[in-house]
Structure 1
Amino acid sequence: MAAVNPYLTFNGTCEAAFNLYKSVFGGEFPYIGRFGDMPPSEDGKRCTPAEADLIMHVSLMIGDTVLMGSDAPGEYGEKLVIGNNYSVSINTDSREEADRIFAGLSDGGTVMMPMENTFWGAYFGMFTDKFGIHWMVNFDEKPEA
């Protein structure tokens, strides 16, 4: 069965926001990655020095829910405005389930990233559905310990 979790997007304040959330809810970050940790793109481009310390992905357990977030600098995200700064993230139990959910929900919408293997060990894709809702679909090939 898929797990549904909120994914928040920030304009350079993700780390500060998640430090606040951690101070309120407790716990630790199972993962925190920065844009500077990313390998170069296929054309050899890397993030700018100003973007290197921004958050590419962070997660915080709150009960049975995972609150996730990232910054959206430059070419890594659409122009951030209040209202498009969240997504619904679906974590699936299999690649097949990820493909089924992605195909069904993205039909008639706009695919930003088709389902593909990622450098962080997941099978992942992103889209906006035909109703304007942002979605992320993820299957962890190598689940966190």
Structure 2
Amino acid sequence: MIAGETATGLIEALRAVVRTGRALKQDDHQAAAAVLAGLSRGGEQRLGQLACGLAVDPSVVSRQVAGLTRAGLVARRPDPGDGRAGLLSLTDRGADWLAAHRRKEADRLVGLLAGWSEDDVGCLLGYLRKLNDDIGKEQHR
């Protein structure tokens, strides 16, 4: 059993990591990357489904999708099951942009973790995945 003081310290440390991560955001590319990653993971989908997967209001996603569509990174087509709705998908150009963005983020993280051993990073990754899985299980109860 984890002591309350340890749990409080862990929560504060996680909050600090999230705050620092937000501060490291380069620009609006993070929001674009989130939308493109959602389409990459989930495939073709309606805007509402994408917004739900990103845990944001559909109006936020709508604004992002409009710009990404103009830039040729997202394609929109009518939903054959409901002509009033549209289906969104990642274009080849969008997939290339997302891959380049992810490489840039990974390079940045490699620089930040330059003093860490491969074993330490592997342990952190394992623990973060385990924490995420446990949080997911709790949400589905």
Shorter-chain TM-score category?
A: under 0.3
Which structure would you say has the larger RCO, counting Cα contacts within 8 Å and 6 or more residues apart? 1
- Structure of larger gyration radius: 2
Query: In proportion to residue count, which structure has more strand?
Result: 1
| TM-score after normalising by structure 1 | 0.24
